[in-house]
Amino acid sequence: MSRVELESFFKSFILFFISLGILISFLFYINYTKNIQTLDEKLFSQMRICSYDLNCKQFYIDFIANEKQEQYKLYKNSNGLTSYYPIPNSIKNIMSISLNNEKYIQELEILKSNALYYYFITLAIIFVLSILFSIYSLYPLRNALILTKEFIKDILHDFNTPLSSIRLNTSMLKSELGDNSKLSRIEQSIENVINLQQQLRYYLQNYTSQKETFDLQQSVTNKLNILEKNYPNITFINNTNEQILFTNKEAFQRILDNILTNAAKYNKKDGKVTISFFKENHQLTIEDTGIGIQNTKKIFDRFYKEHERGIGIGLHIVKKLCEELSISIKVESQINIGTKFILNISELTHH
């Protein structure tokens, strides 16, 4: 199951199981209290029969002074159960029939044990039904996810033909017209579309479980070499050192690529991008001197964007990949001052 399917399964299971569990608990409690009333009525009936034939070993019989106690009524207190009955041809005395508290508690314990036995059997049945219900409820979600993924894969595949045509014609125009700023912007836009296409394809393939060993500093250096050519007006500072990581290399590089590209893209003229690694707390920070982010709480939401460029999916992919690789990520930002991404990669630094 994918992370989304597991989350949906557990939420459905918890909702179904807890809802039915609360309902069953309430019904069993009502039934238990009614069973106690039934037990009291049964014992009271036995006491009444005992008052006629006096053949009742479980009760204690006594004759006490008649102080106008209410007769043919069951009294319940800390001493147990007691009821009073008249004695034929006697006005001064009445008969007291009682069941001591210890024996009454024994009767209640038997009642409680039976109730709990059936209660836990019912909960076990509800547990199994909740699992089956949750699995069944996943089918529409799974089918929708499969259809969506297949649709996106088809769209991504269909992108190749028009992109190839655009790149070919742009190259032909460049050979005819020479270097041109407009053509350069078109080429950059094409590269952005191709990069987005690769990100979406990789995200759909979900290969994050495939791990390998690689050097953090080398990965950062390779990426910065590319960015320095695309953003000559931005100064890139690499404060990382040699650190061996064990995780999915391509997924990790996707995370770096998105954050570093955004740091350069939304930076100021002659701005800086600094990437640092701190061994003492295993934190990787990417800090820029750019325009900043207004709403850092929404920045990882799907399709959220604060500028015209992009479609608001890059950082959402970053967040998902970080979750897959067990990387905690947070962002700090001030408008017109800059943004800092903080990644805790402690789970990646040992294996």
- Res. 161 pLDDT band, cuts 50 70 90: confident
CA triplet 4, 7, 9: central angle to 5 degrees?
A: 105
Instruction: Specify if 290 maps to a domain.
Output: yes
| pLDDT of 27 above 80 | yes
Dihedral angle of Cα 65, 71, 75, 80, to the nearest 10 degrees? 50
Task: Please tell me whether residues 233 and 337 are part of one structural domain.
Answer: yes
Instruction: Specify if 185 maps to a domain.
Output: no
Write b or e for each residue in 130-152: b if 16 or more Cβ atoms lie within 10 A of its Cβ, otherwise e.
beebbeebbeeeeeeeeeeeeee
Query: Nearest 5°: phi and psi at 186?
Result: -65, -45
**Lowest-confidence pick of 15-24, 75-84, 145-154:** 145-154
Q: Most confidently modeled of 2-11, 91-100, 185-194, 202-211?
A: 91-100
Boundary (domain end) residue, out of 137, 160, 181:
137
Task: Please tell me whether residues 123 and 228 are part of one structural domain.
Answer: no
Task: Please tell me whether residues 129 and 225 are part of one structural domain.
Answer: no
Task: Please tell me whether residues 219 and 96 are part of one structural domain.
Answer: no
Task: Please tell me whether residues 234 and 339 are part of one structural domain.
Answer: yes
pLDDT for residue 1: 62
Instruction: Specify if 160 maps to a domain.
Output: no
Boundary (domain end) residue, out of 137, 163, 184:
137
Q: What is the mean pLDDT of residues 29-57?
A: 90
Q: What is the mean pLDDT of residues 157-161?
A: 73
The residue with tokens 């005992």 is 50
Q: What is the mean pLDDT of residues 167-173?
A: 81
Task: Please tell me whether residues 34 and 123 are part of one structural domain.
Answer: yes
Task: Please tell me whether residues 213 and 343 are part of one structural domain.
Answer: yes
CB under 8 A, 24+ apart: contacts of 207-213: 207/248, 207/250, 207/251, 208/248, 208/251, 208/321, 208/324, 208/325, 209/248, 210/248, 211/246, 211/247, 211/248, 211/351, 212/246, 212/247, 212/248, 212/249, 213/244, 213/245, 213/246, 213/351
Q: Residues 103-113: pLDDT tens digits?
A: 989 989 999 99
Instruction: Specify if 150 maps to a domain.
Output: no
pLDDT for residue 136: 84
Q: Which domain holds residue 309?
A: 208-348
Instruction: Give the residue from 102, 65, 100 showing the smallest Cα distance to 81.
Output: 100
Task: Please tell me whether residues 234 and 334 are part of one structural domain.
Answer: yes
**Lowest-confidence pick of 107-121, 175-189, 291-305:** 175-189
pLDDT for residue 236: 92
Instruction: Specify if 112 maps to a domain.
Output: yes
- Res. 162 pLDDT band, cuts 50 70 90: confident
| Alpha carbon distance 22, 117 (integer Å) | 17
Boundary (domain end) residue, out of 88, 116, 137:
137
End-to-end CA separation in angstroms for the chain: 25
Instruction: Specify if 297 maps to a domain.
Output: yes
Comparison of pLDDT for 343 and 205, the residue scoring more: 343
Task: Please tell me whether residues 344 and 215 are part of one structural domain.
Answer: yes
Neighbours of 60 (CB within 10 A): 14
Q: Residues 298-344: pLDDT tens digits?
A: 888 877 776 666 556 778 888 888 888 889 999 999 998 999 999 99
Q: Residues 73-84: pLDDT tens digits?
A: 999 888 889 999
Which tokens belong to 235? Answer: 């100064």
Task: Please tell me whether residues 120 and 227 are part of one structural domain.
Answer: no
Helix extents (H) in 273-330: 314-324
Helix axes 101-177, 3-53, angle to 10 degrees: 170
Where residue 284 sits, what CATH number does that domain have?
3.30.565.10
Q: In this structure, are residues 90 and 114 in contact, taking their beta carbons and an 8 Å threshold?
A: no
- Res. 142 pLDDT band, cuts 50 70 90: confident
| pLDDT of 134 above 90 | no
Q: Residues 268-288: pLDDT tens digits?
A: 888 999 999 998 889 999 999
pLDDT for residue 209: 60
pLDDT for residue 343: 92
Task: Please tell me whether residues 102 and 213 are part of one structural domain.
Answer: no
Instruction: Specify if 170 maps to a domain.
Output: no
| Alpha carbon distance 53, 276 (integer Å) | 95
Tally of domains in the chain: 2
pLDDT for residue 68: 78
Task: Please tell me whether residues 216 and 333 are part of one structural domain.
Answer: yes
Instruction: Specify if 187 maps to a domain.
Output: no
Q: What is the mean pLDDT of residues 12-40?
A: 92
Q: What is the mean pLDDT of residues 161-181?
A: 79
Give me the chain's average pLDDT, please. 84
- Res. 208 pLDDT band, cuts 50 70 90: low
